[in-house]
Amino acid sequence: MTKQYLKATAIALGLVAWGGAAIAGAPADWSKVPGRTVTVLYPGVSPIEWIVNGTEHSGARGMREGDTCVACHEKELADMGKKMATGQKLEPHVIKGKAASIPVTVQAAHDGANLYMRFSWKQPAGGADKMDADNQVKLAFMLANDGIMVKSGKKEVDMSQRGACWATCHQDVRTMPDVKDDKKTKYVTGANLAGGVFYDLLQWTSKANKGTDGHIAEKREMTGGTALIEAKGEKKGDTWTVTFARKLAGGTGDIALAAGKTVNFGMAIHDDHTNGRFHHVSMGYTLGIDAKADITAAKQ
């Protein structure tokens, strides 16, 4: 048998094994790819303005000294989510039955040309009103270079390093309490698309079972990127599996990836037909391409 035949057979077996969540070219056996548990929590009303305010958020001082959000909070994410989901803290609009947190297994690999990301988690209980009637689930992940700066007190801090997507979450965007503008999306203060000050945003939606490739700069754009190849997902029993394939290279609004490079990573899940700010989000992590990081994509 030729090497080409064996490779094609392996890909085909992967497609059979994972059904709708399989993507051609992705690892045929994901069980051999190391995974990391990333807990996404319900954040309530905790915009960046609250995060960097030392009189309201005690962690702001440590953040100014270089601490990351995950370094301080990783062991208490479930408890934090519970306080907000139940209205004990930072949530004036409690949703009955809202999951406090969701542990997600995140895996990554590449083949020299493309990055493959795989996310799997068990569906938590729900039953709230359907804000997004079309989609039971939406999953997004964001990549960013260093240099997304936010002022905290008299000092500017790099939130792309410290806090994943929190630099995009402002108190004046839609679905925040008392906001009248229902069209204002997430944005980055001081965004510079050409200069690399933005978030690369990839999202998968359950109804269409496909992905979109956008970015967040002066505003959120859900399309326009050219790196995404494919995104597929499925639910088997109580477990969701969503897989993305994107080119390492890209164009405007795409973070360029390469062997040896590490970028900032964060993710979000809109669970139980929810929408807007009522999602679950991660702290900030690092993603390395053949480089040591919180999540490492090794060449397969």
The pLDDT tens digits of the residues spanning 177-224 come to 999 899 999 999 999 999 999 999 999 999 999 999 999 999 999 999
Contact by Cβ (8 Å): 248, 260: no
Cα–Cα dist 284/163, whole Å: 5
Nearest to 264 by CA among 110, 116, 161: 161
All structural domains of the chain:
28-299 (2.60.40.1190)
Cα–Cα dist 161/149, whole Å: 10
- The separation between CA 9 and the C-alpha centre of its own chain, rounded to angstroms, equals 32
* DSSP 3-state of 210: strand
The size of the chain, in residues, is 300
Residue 128: per-residue pLDDT:
81
Prediction pTM value: 0.92
Residue 189: per-residue pLDDT:
96
Those residues of the chain that have pLDDT short of 70 are 1-20
Cα–Cα dist 205/40, whole Å: 17
The residue type at 12: A
Residue 17: per-residue pLDDT:
39
Cα–Cα dist 82/59, whole Å: 19
List 116's β-bridge partners, or say none: 109, 245
Cα–Cα dist 262/292, whole Å: 8
Cα–Cα dist 247/116, whole Å: 9
Tokens 């009189």, residue located: 55
Residue 14: per-residue pLDDT:
41
